[in-house]
Chains A and B, each alone.
Chain A
């Protein structure tokens, strides 16, 4: 593959480079031990029975059982109890992927046939690479310009589809410095196998240096403010505007009451829908007069606008 040499995964045991990776591994190897024991027990029984009760062998075959109620109930309800235990365990670990730490660093990831773009808050962008500081909780906010892609970093044990028309996200903390494979895991067309690169986990100080080095872009929020004015958003949404539109200061994270009686938390997905599909979630007390910006903003511009709204307190 035409990709940079990656040290992290070029070994037999998969590197565990995130906080969740260790938890996933404990679950994996516990389940492996359990299912391995069950499989071996079944195979040993099958082989022992096959040898012992082969046609012509002289062994006791009297009173063969055909229905043993306690046995049948036992091997129905014992697995049931064990399965429910595994289910709960795995669900608890899974919930961590979707419960970001309060201080999680948000990074926008945009998939596109066939590359990954990352947008850091300070405006630094990268393609087919993602640099992260070790020990810092991270929240990836994924979107795509075209088809479904899936952001897969085996060393982190994370995978999340990027779905057209919405945001998805996944949270974790990288823990071990190194370089790890980044793949696209959802089939996306001709060069699917080449869509990927590497994730670089750095010491926090080195990461801070890297973030500033060679970055001449304005921060995402600054770019968002520029877009907010250029696209005319501020004409209605600024304080003192003559048009009756919701004031957006501090909107992020707030509970918004909608005209149809629903209440939603204003997260990235809500802000995105409000820009592209403004008729979908109309705020209570306002007229549905906002035009849609569908087709006028690309994913990078949306990320900038939303970053601005998040910081606009």
Chain B
């Protein structure tokens, strides 16, 4: 009996302790937020189709980009892969019956939903206009919008991050199946483990920072506003101490997904497994030391800028290693271009462009010109949307048969992947040019010479919207009408494929005993070594 047929009532879902059901609950919740955040972006692109501010007012536009950022960062990207796929897959991949703390796992979902309700309440109450970065003293003294409600929402949701991170760390440490040594772990598990460490260490700093913003705003305790005796740059240091590692919270799990899909569809062991694992740990730790690269023109000391610039170049090295290794994994493979593979290859390509343009921003003198322009917008969307969202969708397709026991329609899957890839590039590539030409971000109106590039970008957003609605439609359809999936439709090697699709409540009929490392693929069909005998 599969975990899906353990109960059909709403109550059976809302009171479940099963990590797989909680993963599905997260999937439903973050999908709703994704389309809400996407709607805000669509309105922004509509406004920016013309230089004049004619679709919405300046106040509304400022609220749109704020809510787009808040929702996409904290209510979609950060929980996306760890809380949905990580929740569902980490216990399966390590041969565990469940997470280490199943009740805490459910609690983290409820906390996430509570934080989401505060944020939606702020939206209903009229929105907030500080930008997702809440820079002081604008957020503490000058904005007259619902700053406190949104801060409470993000603050509360942070605890769901912390609990999920804690759960994954303990689960990976304590619940690995016999024989599953650290260097037999799939890279997806490594990635989620490293991400969870960041969630645990960085999120409390965000919580403290937001609490201080609320204290200053509500009680005029001088922390960040110099008129009250505070220091506005202190806020930026604290905020980016969380928010730069948060980028790696979003992209490390995406790397994990790509590292599962590419070997499977190329029928090759991943190239340089150990370097890949070390690169994940290297990114997670160096990522804590580069926050000041968001502040090269903020008035921080020139010498601080120089140190942060050098460290930022260092963090690019492990990312480069990963791209080279994925490419080398294709060499002498036997490559099948299923939809998950198209998403994964798209991820590698877009992540490469996003990563390389990051070098421009790490270069001090170039950052002075490029920061706070559309170049930055393009750069981080290539990482977070081109990278993380592509990988998330690739992962959803790859593990869809495992999650619901049905196959998605393959041809539609490929069409959607290509549509998203094309729409994404059309939306965001022109923004690099806009940034170089000097168009600042967060502009409701802009000089007329920028219109052509903005039109391309807005047209791309329309294509992207179609691309994102396609999977929503056909995946929904496949839940009821898709072909029934076998336990291992991709002939993959991981433990999650050695149990039924969908898996039973406690994952395995009997505890698996792990014999070998992951990715024992071979180009000769049917000749592959699963991790169990």
**Chain A interface (Cβ < 8 Å from any Cβ of B):** 1, 3, 6, 9-12, 14, 20, 23-24, 27-28, 31, 35, 38-39, 42-43, 45-46, 49-50, 53-56, 60-68, 71-72, 75-76, 79-80, 83-84, 86-87, 89-91, 93-98, 113, 146-148, 150, 152, 154-155, 157-161, 163-166, 168, 181, 183-194
Q: Which residues from chain A contact B233 at a C-beta distance below 8 Å? A: 163
Nearest Cβ on chain B to A277's Cβ, whole angstroms: 9
B383 within 8 A of A: no
Contact indicator per residue, chain B 222-242, by CB within 8 Å of chain A (1) or not (0): 000111000111000000000
Known: A96-B365, A164-B227, A193-B440. 9 other contacts (CB 8 A): A6-B447, A46-B349, A49-B330, A64-B331, A158-B369, A163-B232, A164-B232, A192-B62, A193-B444
A192 with B369: in contact, given A31-B363, A166-B226 (CB under 8 Å)?
no
Nearest Cβ on chain B to A120's Cβ, whole angstroms: 23
Dominant SS at the B interface?
Answer: helix
State A14–B369 Cα separation when bound (angstroms): 12
B305 within 8 A of A: yes
Q: Which residues from chain B contact A56 at a C-beta distance below 8 Å? A: 334
Residue of A nearest to B312 (CB): A87
Contact of A83 among B53, B330, B359 (CB under 8 A): B359
Contact, CB under 8 Å: B142 / A147: yes
State A24–B442 Cα separation when bound (angstroms): 24
Nearest Cβ on chain A to B235's Cβ, whole angstroms: 10
State A290–B71 Cα separation when bound (angstroms): 49
Contact, CB under 8 Å: A83 / B317: yes
Contact, CB under 8 Å: A193 / B320: no
A46 with B327: in contact, given A39-B352, A75-B320, A157-B369 (CB under 8 Å)?
yes
Nearest Cβ on chain A to B373's Cβ, whole angstroms: 7
Nearest Cβ on chain B to A197's Cβ, whole angstroms: 12
A191 with B447: in contact, given A14-B438, A64-B268, A64-B331 (CB under 8 Å)?
no
Which of A20, A53, A98 has most chain B Cβ within 10 Å? A53
Contact, CB under 8 Å: A31 / B359: yes
Contact of A42 among B269, B270, B352, B365 (CB under 8 A): B352
Q: Which residues from chain A contact B436 at a C-beta distance below 8 Å? A: 14, 28
Contact, CB under 8 Å: A185 / B372: yes
Question: How many A-B Cβ pairs are below 8 Å?
Answer: 264
**Chain B interface (Cβ < 8 Å from any Cβ of A):** 51-53, 58-59, 62, 129, 131, 135, 137-138, 141-143, 225-227, 231-233, 266-275, 296-299, 302, 305-306, 309-310, 313-314, 316-317, 320-321, 323-325, 327-328, 330-337, 345, 348-349, 352-353, 356-357, 359-360, 362-366, 368-369, 371-373, 436-438, 440-449, 523
A35 with B372: in contact, given A64-B332, A165-B231 (CB under 8 Å)?
no
26 contacts between A and B (CB under 8 A): A1-B448, A24-B365, A31-B359, A39-B352, A42-B352, A53-B333, A54-B334, A64-B523, A66-B270, A67-B272, A75-B321, A76-B317, A80-B314, A83-B314, A87-B313, A89-B363, A94-B365, A94-B368, A96-B365, A113-B142, A148-B135, A159-B369, A163-B233, A164-B226, A185-B373, A186-B135
Contact, CB under 8 Å: B302 / A147: no
Contact, CB under 8 Å: B321 / A42: no
Contact, CB under 8 Å: B298 / A181: no
Q: Which residues from chain A contact B446 at a C-beta distance below 8 Å? A: 1, 193
State A154–B273 Cα separation when bound (angstroms): 45
State A91–B331 Cα separation when bound (angstroms): 38
Smallest CB-CB A-B distances: 9 pairs: A165-B226, A154-B438, A94-B364, A90-B363, A93-B365, A49-B330, A64-B332, A83-B313, A168-B299
A97 with B368: in contact, given A39-B356, A42-B327, A161-B297 (CB under 8 Å)?
yes
Contact, CB under 8 Å: A186 / B363: no
Contact, CB under 8 Å: A49 / B335: yes
A66 with B443: in contact, given A31-B359, A154-B438 (CB under 8 Å)?
no
Contact of B335 among A3, A50, A148, A152 (CB under 8 A): A50
Contact, CB under 8 Å: B356 / A64: no
Nearest Cβ on chain B to A303's Cβ, whole angstroms: 17
Q: Which residues from chain B contact A96 at a C-beta distance below 8 Å? A: 365
State A35–B272 Cα separation when bound (angstroms): 23
State A218–B523 Cα separation when bound (angstroms): 84
Contact, CB under 8 Å: B373 / A54: no
Residue of A nearest to B360 (CB): A31
Nearest Cβ on chain A to B505's Cβ, whole angstroms: 36
Q: Which residues from chain B contact A76 at a C-beta distance below 8 Å? A: 275, 317, 321
